[in-house]
């Protein structure tokens, strides 16, 4: 008899994701306030860890140590996903993958899936605004930290003034960003990593790649733009355009290239139906 685990090596990933989705859809429906709170916590974590990354940049300064500062800062920011996962907070970009798997297997309707993602993004935004208000009432962005943040905001908004080439660049960076994030979540959910420390290493490593290379994350950008808007103002149109493109790219990278891809690859019912082996059941 054929070994199902060899044919469909990600079946535990699928079952774990669908179980998580069931809990999330229930919470976003009957316990929407709690779900928003969990999403707000994720937004706050992203904001605090982003500030920490800029603080690392500032500490190393420019010159010979600048590259090391970016390396260390990206590694530090990698802990954001670890804190979100172990605090059971809700992050939009990883939920894109979870909802897409659910849509493939028809365990969630398009409307309920969209509601879940909308509430998650709203909560992430509110958590980010809370951090932005705290920063606005403090001196945290004085000096090198503020300079690094301003330079980053300028570079992110510059994509919008470069026409189609800039928009395409931004879109690709957003795709690769959420591809890496959900690659980390795939390793956490698929049951191959049993140790919590190694799960943390997987998440830190994948987030490090997107932060160090310069990929684009919708929630991180939302929080950064919120801080910039309160701290000194921001061009609303380019900021909104950036977020729309990055949200779309993140969905492609995490929702389609990870979620849909692995849902399709591990659809035992589809493949066994095509090969006529009806004696195998999908789990």
User: CA 222, CA 39: separation in Å to the nearest integer?
Assistant: 14
When pLDDT is averaged across residues 121-148 and rounded to a whole number, the result is 92
pLDDT tens-place string over residues 189-204: 988 888 999 999 999 9
State the pLDDT at residue 64. 77
When pLDDT is averaged across residues 61-84 and rounded to a whole number, the result is 90
What is the CATH architecture assignment of 9-267? Answer: Up-down Bundle (1.20)
Least confident of 193-202, 248-257, 267-276: 267-276
Alpha-carbon dihedral sign for residues 71, 73, 78, 79: positive
Regarding pTM above 0.85, the answer is yes
- Six-digit token string for 49: 């860890």
- Six-digit token string for 204: 């830190």
Domain boundaries, the chain: 9-267
User: CA 105, CA 32: separation in Å to the nearest integer?
Assistant: 24
Least confident of 17-21, 119-123, 238-242: 17-21
Predicted confidence (pLDDT) at residue 103 exceeds the cutoff of 90: yes
Predicted confidence (pLDDT) at residue 280 exceeds the cutoff of 90: no
State the pLDDT at residue 272. 54
């Amino acid at each position: 008899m054929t070994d199902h685990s060899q044919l469909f090596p990600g079946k535990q990933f699928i079952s774990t994701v669908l179980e998580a989705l069931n809990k999330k859809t229930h919470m976003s429906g009957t316990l929407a306030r709690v779900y928003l709170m969990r999403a707000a916590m994720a937004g706050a974590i992203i904001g605090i860890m982003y500030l920490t990354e800029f603080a690392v940049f500032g500490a190393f300064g420019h010159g010979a140590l600048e590259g090391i500062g970016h390396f260390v800062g990206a590694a530090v920011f990698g802990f954001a996903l670890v804190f979100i996962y172990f605090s059971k907070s809700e992050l939009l970009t990883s939920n894109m993958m979870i909802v897409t798997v659910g849509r493939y297997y028809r365990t969630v309707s398009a409307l309920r899936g969209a509601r879940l993602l909308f509430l998650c993004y709203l909560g992430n935004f509110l958590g980010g605004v809370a951090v932005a208000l705290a920063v606005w009432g403090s001196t945290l962005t004085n000096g090198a930290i503020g300079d690094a943040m301003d330079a980053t905001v300028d570079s992110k908004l510059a994509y919008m003034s470069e026409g189609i080439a800039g928009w395409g660049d931004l879109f690709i960076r957003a795709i690769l960003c959420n591809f890496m994030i959900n690659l980390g979540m795939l390793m956490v959910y698929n049951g191959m990593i049993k140790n919590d420390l190694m799960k943390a290493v997987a998440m830190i490593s994948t987030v490090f790649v997107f932060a160090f290379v310069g990929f684009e994350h919708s929630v991180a950008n939302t929080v950064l733009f919120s801080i910039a808007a309160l701290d000194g103002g921001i061009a609303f149109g380019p900021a909104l355009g950036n977020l729309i493109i990055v949200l779309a790219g993140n969905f492609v990278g995490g929702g389609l290239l990870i979620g849909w891809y692995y849902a399709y690859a591990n659809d035992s019912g589809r493949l066994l139906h095509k090969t006529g082996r009806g004696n195998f059941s999908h789990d």
